[in-house]
Amino acid sequence: MNYTLVLLFLIISIPLSAQEYAYDVSETYPYGRPHPEAPKQLLDYELLIGECNCTSMRRNPDQTWGEPEGMIWRYKYIMNGTAVQDETLKTNGSHSGSIRQFIADSSRWYVHYYSNKGPTTKLSTWKGGKRGDSIVLYNKQKAPNGADGFFRITFSHITKNGFHWLGEWTDTTETITFPTWKIRCRKVKTN
């Protein structure tokens, strides 16, 4: 018998080694781990990795704040520890998520958002990065009066115990802001 053929057969029939994907989600690391060769900015989300219980409040059409709504927000490393994915599970059945990739050539995060309440053939994309101790992301959006601006998302008060999230419209100079959504999260699970 040709031992080369036997060896080749054994190599082909052995599943890919778990070592090849050592930074992916596993029993030991349910939220994955950052790959050491990934851009160092991947650690911008390090304290968010895991699961949080959150309270979400959105502004009503009459401009008052709506009732607080409970939600779960999970973050994990994906693609063998080279990107971050999150998902939200809200009590009203509205669920969403994002794929977060840092592009070194532009020195920015690109966050691609999707939702079960607004399926689309083209995902919206926020761009941004760290600003001090916060993460700030932007997506172009006109105000109801037609003024140019952005929908700005800010992650702040980021600790191992949780974080704050604020969604607001801002003009292009960031001097006028109008908050429309706020979320407060408390960490309940981590690696």
Each residue of 117-152: pLDDT tens digit?
988 889 999 999 999 999 999 999 999 899 999 999
User: How does residue 92 score in pLDDT terms, banded at 50, 70 and 90?
Assistant: confident
CATH H superfamily, domain 3-189: Calycin beta-barrel core domain (2.40.128.20)
Half-sphere exposure of 167 (CA within 13 A, CB side): 13
Q: What pairs with residue 44 in β-bridges? A: none
What is the pTM for the complete model shown?
A: 0.87
Residue 119: predicted pLDDT: 82
Structure tokens at 130: 């760290």
Q: 3-class secondary structure for 105-168?
A: CCCEEEEEEEECCCCCCCCEEEEEEEECCEEEEEEECCCCCCCCEEEEEEEEEEECCEEEEEEE
- Residues 78, 146: Cα–Cα separation, whole Å: 38
- Phi, psi dihedrals of residue 44, rounded to the nearest 5°: -55, -30
Q: What pairs with residue 56 in β-bridges? A: 69, 183
Domain boundaries, the chain: 3-189
Each residue of 45-71: pLDDT tens digit?
999 999 999 999 999 999 999 999 999
Each residue of 150-161: pLDDT tens digit?
999 999 999 999
